[in-house]
Amino acid sequence: MKKKLKLGVFGFGCVGQGLYHVLHETQGIKAEIKKVCVKTKNKARPVPDSFFTFDKNEILNDLDIDIVVELIDDANAAFEILKASLEKGKAVVTANKKMLAEHLEEIFNLQKKHGKPVLYEGSVCGSIPIIRNLEEYYDNDLIQSIEGIFNGSTNFILTKVFEENKNYTEALKQAQELGFAESDPSLDVKGYDPKFKLVIAIAHTFGVFVKPEDVINIGIDRISDLDLKFARENGYNIKLVARAFKSGDKIFGFVAPQFIDPTNALASVRNEYNAVQVQGAFAEKQVFIGKGAGSYPTGSAVLSDISALTYQYSYEYKKLEQAHGLTFSNELITEAFVSFDEGTPITGNDFEELQSGYASQGKQYMVGKVTLEKLLHWSKIEGVGIILAPKAAFIPLSNIQTRSLSVA
């Protein structure tokens, strides 16, 4: 008979409460919460006060606790909890995508050093079991790309904008009221949250550790009424897409909004749902869809990790052994729609190939092929909006340079 695992939980917010409820409603997992460490005293909580402590050492030093479940917002504090837990011989389950993205290679080494696993299915796309599938189902497939809607908050906002004709501010407020977006929504709407998730996914997809600061993220906060008008007139939607793909010995990855035509599998993914598309050489294209925001979806993913630990599961990071010199790069050309105020220092000469452009009511609009680095530079200029073309191709600069040399 399996031992009943004892859990020490850090944090009791949206995901912590979701975990508490799904754990008490399921019949298949032999685990129980022994203690929950929280920061704020004198706060009403829907469980007995005897569950709670304000001293982290009550969990870290408790020999009876097998697993530490880390569910707090502070990425730096979360990393310290993770390290201390492994040092104390406890396995860790976490959903903190920012902490994981910033420290993933170190966490990989800490697991080897201490011989205890860290599981984090809930950190990438909520209820979608993508990490476990990348580790197990796709372990020997030659994956070519992974992409999709990695942020439920922005997808909810864009759904309301397109389907209910709400303006951006109204849709964001509704997302906050429903708990899909934080009071400070910048991590979501500026594309940082899906970037952190993409960094984690790249490690399990291609076996490459990438620093978040090396991955370009462009959000939805600058989508204009002109962009929405163009999308509606042409039958497009707009989605915030995270993608990574392999070309030669390079891995490319970035986050940016894109016009989506109705034939794209992402077009029908609505509200707080996420979607992940995996393209493999053998399995070909497969699409996973599930809720990416909310208490229960993420709580259920955390519970899945706890369940996996009842049979001593750990990530093997199989793709690291198959990487064979792969490196990350931003040297890429793609096709984008760029809008900006008159007087902004952007001209047709900045494009590798300018396809069209026009000006109206103090705004300029240009469409063409442009480098990813140039898009990054423009994204830092106030008032510049960037949306990828619906059929945008992604061409490594090395391919163009090689072709030019061969012609010469």
Q: Which of 309, 319, 298 is nearest to 119 (CA)?
A: 309
Catalytic residue flag (residue 30):
no
Q: What are the residues whose beta carbons fall under 8 Å from the beta carbon of 205, sequence distance 6 or more? A: 134, 138, 143, 146, 244, 278, 319
Strand order in the sheet with 5-10: 52-53, 31-37, 5-10, 67-70, 91-94, 118-119
Q: Tell me whether residue 171 is exposed, middle or buried, using C-beta atoms within 10 angstroms of its C-beta: 0 to 12, 13 to 18, 19 or more.
A: buried
Catalytic residue, from 90, 98, 195, 197: name it.
197
DSSP string, 30-88: -EEEEEEE-S-SS---SS-GGGEES-THHHHT-TT--EEEE--S-HHHHHHHHHHHHHT
Instruction: Mark residue 319 as left, alpha or beta (left: phi above 0; alpha: psi -120 to 50; beta: remaining).
Output: alpha
Q: Is 21 strand, coil or helix?
A: helix
Backbone φ and ψ for 325, nearest 5 degrees, come out as 80, 15
Contact, 288 vs 161, CB < 8 A?
no
Contact, 313 vs 187, CB < 8 A?
no
DSSP string, 169-237: HHHHHHHHHTTSS-SSTHHHHTTHHHHHHHHHHHHHHHS----GGGSEE--STT--HHHHHHHHHTT-E
The CA distance from 81 to 83, in Å, is 6
- Residues marked active site are found at 197
